[in-house]
Amino acid sequence: MVVGAGPTGENLADRAHAGGLSVAIVESELVGGECSYWACMPSKALLRPAAALADARRAPGVGTGTLDASAVLARRDDFASHWKDDGQVGWLEGAELVLVRGHGRLDGAKRVAVETPDGGRRVLTARHAVAVCTGTGAALPDLPGLAGARPWTSREATSSSQVPPRLAVIGGGVVACEMATAWRALGSEVVLLVRGSQLLPRTEPFAGEAVAESLRAAGIDVRFDTSVTEVRREGTVTLTLDGGGTVTADEVLFATGRSPATADLGLETVDLAPGRPIEVDSTGLATGVPGGWLYAAGDVNGRALLTHQGKYQGRIFGEVIADRAAGRPLDTADWGRSVATADERAVPQVVFTDPEVAAVGLTLDEATRKGYRVRAVDYDIGDVAGASLHADNYQGHARAVVDLDRETLLGVTFVGAGVSELLHSATIAVTAEVPIARLWHAVPAYPTISEIWLRLLETYRA
């Protein structure tokens, strides 16, 4: 039994079925999950036209137009399948997975009680395992006046059919940076209020600095070390700031992180704490639950809050569940078939701002804190021939973090226009632990932005 039919639950169910199990999947909203309707797909549909326009403006002779907001929003609606899940339900049926609509709650060992849309209650018992794949919801701070102020969360920010004339965005993480970029490009006046002193704090510092600079260049009012202490809506929204002063906007987006969807999941019936992520081992098995029947995959286990990592866990844990049920041996060595090793060593992520931020593995700071003997190798991407052709005055930077003892890469970060498609080359280098001596023979085509690889290696060997 799988609870939650987001990208993770779908993949886990499919792999468990491919391994020989019959699978039922419980979904309380839309099959396809947050990613399809209120996260990855609609946000990237809003951002892609902005990136295309920015690229056009940097290539002389192409054009300097503005976005047609209604066309962009209409295309976004198509990408969100108009918030209907018929297509994904069709896929589930084709994959021979049984869909149970309703809110699922654990009800003791191997049991899931489903509150069905007609108000009924159905208790389902799994023969082998229950996999919780319920994802996360937006986390809102406890601020006076916030509840009555109808704030935007990531859901409204990705699905709004109106462009607010003035938008205040709270937060300095990925959602805040991407949504500030998108709505500014669609015409909003945007103020970005950041509690800390940098954007994208989990990436290399030069990434957040480049994004802050470009958000400001796009006309966004970026304010660091600024906290909101009170929110009031009287038609418009007024935010009171800790240093004194107020900000008034038509809408306010709180992009202040996520909470695991475990508060109303019956976790107390299996002696786990509601509202917390479900901790798992590297085969997906929940720790502290006897009997080896409860798994958790994707955002809900807190390992890596990204669709591709959730799907990766889904593929691996689904197969593990089927293998354990059939008595087949697992392969739990590092990078083995039955463990999600990449979660700890090589998580790739692209932040679709302008410039894009594409990173995999450890930052210099993380590698140093983990005790590796490392060297950071830096190079400005604008000095690569392919980049200077890509855009006039191309601004970008790359860093590779080299493990000096093994001469392999622990992490790579690219910042610049069009770098997202470079990332998989770095993911392969980090995951496969390709020695620098061999990377030297991986020749990038001339004149592409990929020549950054050659420059990084030359810099290392200089």
Ligand X SMILES: Cc1cc2nc3c(=O)[nH]c(=O)nc-3n(C[C@H](O)[C@H](O)[C@H](O)COP(=O)(O)OP(=O)(O)OC[C@H]3O[C@@H](n4cnc5c(N)ncnc54)[C@H](O)[C@@H]3O)c2cc1C
Ligand Y SMILES: NC(=O)c1ccc[n+]([C@@H]2O[C@H](COP(=O)([O-])OP(=O)(O)OC[C@H]3O[C@@H](n4cnc5c(N)ncnc54)[C@H](O)[C@@H]3O)[C@@H](O)[C@H]2O)c1
Residue numbering of the annotated binding site for FAD: 44, 104, 299
Question: Degrees (nearest 5) of the Cα angle 351, 355, 357?
Answer: 35
Count residues contacting ligand Y (CB under 6 A)? 23
Residues 134-173 that bind ligand Y (CB under 6 A): 141, 170-173
Please state, in angstroms and rounded to a whole number, the distance separating the CA atoms of residues 179 and 187: 12
265 binds, among ligand Y, ligand X, none (CB under 5 to 8 A by kind): ligand X
Q: Which residue has the tokens 């286990």?
A: 301
Q: Check residue 8 for interaction with ligand X (CB under 6 A).
A: yes
Quick check: 101 binds ligand X (CB under 6 A)?
no
Q: 230 has which bridge partners? A: 240
As beta bridge partners, residue 460 has: none
Q: Least distance (Å) from ligand Y to the CB of residue 154?
A: 6
Q: Does 175 bind ligand X (CB under 6 A)?
A: yes
Strands 236-241 and 130-132: unpaired
End-to-end CA distance of the chain: 56
* H/E element, 158: helix 154-159
State the binding partner of 449 from ligand X, ligand Y, none, CB within 5 to 8 A by kind: none
The pairs formed by 209-213 with CB atoms below 8 angstroms and a separation of 24 or more are 210/355, 210/357, 210/395, 210/396, 210/397, 210/415, 211/177, 211/351, 211/353, 211/355, 211/357, 211/415
Q: Which of 227, 226, 248, 235 is nearest to 167 (CA)?
A: 248
Q: Decide whether 205 or 257 has the Cβ nearer to ligand Y.
A: 257
CA-only gyration radius of the chain, Å = 23
Among 134, 203, 226, 363, binds ligand X (CB under 6 A): 134
Give the residue at shortest CB distance from ligand Y.
Answer: 173
For 152-156, which contacts have Cβ atoms below 8 Å and span 24 or more sequence positions? 152/251, 152/252, 152/253, 152/254, 153/253, 153/254, 153/255, 154/38, 154/39, 154/43, 154/179, 154/253, 154/255, 155/38, 156/251, 156/253
Q: Contacting ligand Y (CB under 6 A), which of 126, 255, 415, 456?
A: 255
User: Residue 100 Cβ, how far from ligand Y at the closest point, in Å?
Assistant: 27
Q: Taking the complex as a whole, how short is the minimal distance between the CB of residue 316 and ligand Y, in angstroms?
A: 20
Residue 265 Cβ vs ligand X, minimum distance, rounded to whole Å: 5
Q: Which region, judged by CB under 6 A, interacts with ligand X, from 26-34, 226-234, 385-393, 447-455?
A: 26-34
CB 215 within 8 A of CB 182: no
The owner of tokens 């309380």 is 28
In terms of CB distance, is 175 or 430 closer to ligand X? 175
DSSP state of 81: G
Work out how close the CB of 3 gets to ligand X at its nearest, in angstroms, rounded to a whole number.
5
Per-position x/- string for 401-420, each x denoting binding to ligand Y as judged by CB under 6 A, each - no binding: --------------------
Q: Which of 7, 172, 361, 396 binds ligand X (CB under 6 A)?
A: 7
Would you give the binding string for ligand X spanning residues 269-308, x where CB under 6 A is met? -----------------------------xx-----xxxx
Which residues sit in the known binding site? Answer: 44, 104, 171-178, 257, 299
- The smaller minimum CB distance to ligand Y, of residues 141 and 145, is found at 141
| Least spacing, CB of residue 394 vs ligand X, in Å | 23
Residues in region 208-247 near ligand Y by CB under 6 A? 227
Please provide residue 190's backbone torsions phi and psi, each rounded to the nearest 5 degrees.
Answer: -120, 135
Phi and psi (nearest 5°) for 42? -65, -35
The kind and range of the H/E element at 360 are: strand 356-361
Contacts of 160 (CB under 8 A, 6+ apart): 152, 251
Least separation in angstroms between CB 109 and ligand X: 17
Q: Which stretch binds ligand X (CB under 6 A): 29-37, 120-128, 414-422, 451-459?
A: 29-37
Question: Which residues are near ligand Y by CB under 6 A?
Answer: 141, 170-176, 178, 195-196, 201, 227, 255-258, 305-306, 349-352
Question: Which residues are near ligand X by CB under 6 A?
Answer: 3-9, 26-29, 33-35, 39-40, 43-44, 103-104, 133-136, 154, 158, 175, 261, 265, 298-299, 305-308, 310
